[in-house]
Amino acid sequence: MTENKAKPKINGSMSVEEALANRRSHRDFLPVAISADQLLQILWAAYGTSSGGLRTTPSAGATYPLEIYAVVGNVNEIEPGVYRYIPDEHRTVKTVVGDVRHKLCEAALDQKMVAQAPASVFFSAVFARTTKRYGERGVKYVYMEIGHAAQNVYLQVEALGLGTCAIGAFTDSSVKRILNLPKREEPLYLMPIGYYK
């Protein structure tokens, strides 16, 4: 278990407009560690809790179908492994021991940036949380929600002077096995994060 190192920052040195203007997908990362505080800030931006107990990402009917994981390989003060983010407590819980970046890279059709980046944010979804309320239409709402969360990651990463790239190409069954995802969770998105060349 990794306790939060600091509360999420809600004031930064970069405006939203500047982050939007500079946002790019980066696919070539330096072998440099990121900090635990940087990673936790990114997880908070993706799906954390803000004032009044609301999330940083809109959710249809506040059903919150997404689960967020950090795949850690080279992060200061955090041992390599896979960690599930607990939004209400702004902390992570280790779910897999050891560095799985190379295995995850293979599952992601050998996209080298997955092994190269010091960490990745991974998104899965429990569709039933949303479809229980909205029926089949809820599937679309889940896809909308992951788009909101991923854009938050892009903007937060940019504001921290880091890079990322959204990846949807991977073998679902392999990813579920490598990350030890519960059966009810469907893998959706992978975002390697780090300093870029």
The pLDDT score that the predictor gives to residue 183 is 96
Three-state DSSP class for 101?
Answer: helix
User: What is the pTM (predicted TM-score) of this model?
Assistant: 0.94
pLDDT at 149 over 70: yes
Amino acid at 128: A
Percent above pLDDT 90 for the chain: 84
Question: What's the CA gap between 93 and 70, in Å, rounded?
Answer: 10
Question: Which sequence spans correspond to the domains of the chain?
Answer: 24-194
> Which of 125, 101, 107, 130 lies closest to 192, judged by CA?
101
Question: 24-194: which CATH number, 3.40.50.720, 3.40.50.2000, 3.20.20.70, 3.40.109.10?
Answer: 3.40.109.10
Q: Are 180 and 83 in contact (CB under 8 A)?
A: no
- Report the DSSP pairing between strands 75-76 and 163-164: unpaired
- 10 pLDDT tier (thresholds 50, 70, 90): confident
Q: How far apart are CA 91 and CA 82, in angstroms?
A: 13
Q: What is the mean pLDDT of residues 46-55?
A: 88
pLDDT(103) > 70: yes
Of the pLDDT bands very low, low, confident and very high (cuts 50, 70, 90), residue 8 is confident
Q: Answer whether residue 3 shows pLDDT above 60.
A: no
Over residues 55-68, mean pLDDT: 96
How much is the pLDDT for 1? Answer: 44
Mean pLDDT confidence for 148-154: 97
> DSSP of 109-145, one letter per residue?
TT-THHHHSSEEEEEEE-THHHHHHHTTHHHHHHHHH
Question: What average pLDDT does the structure give for the chain?
Answer: 94
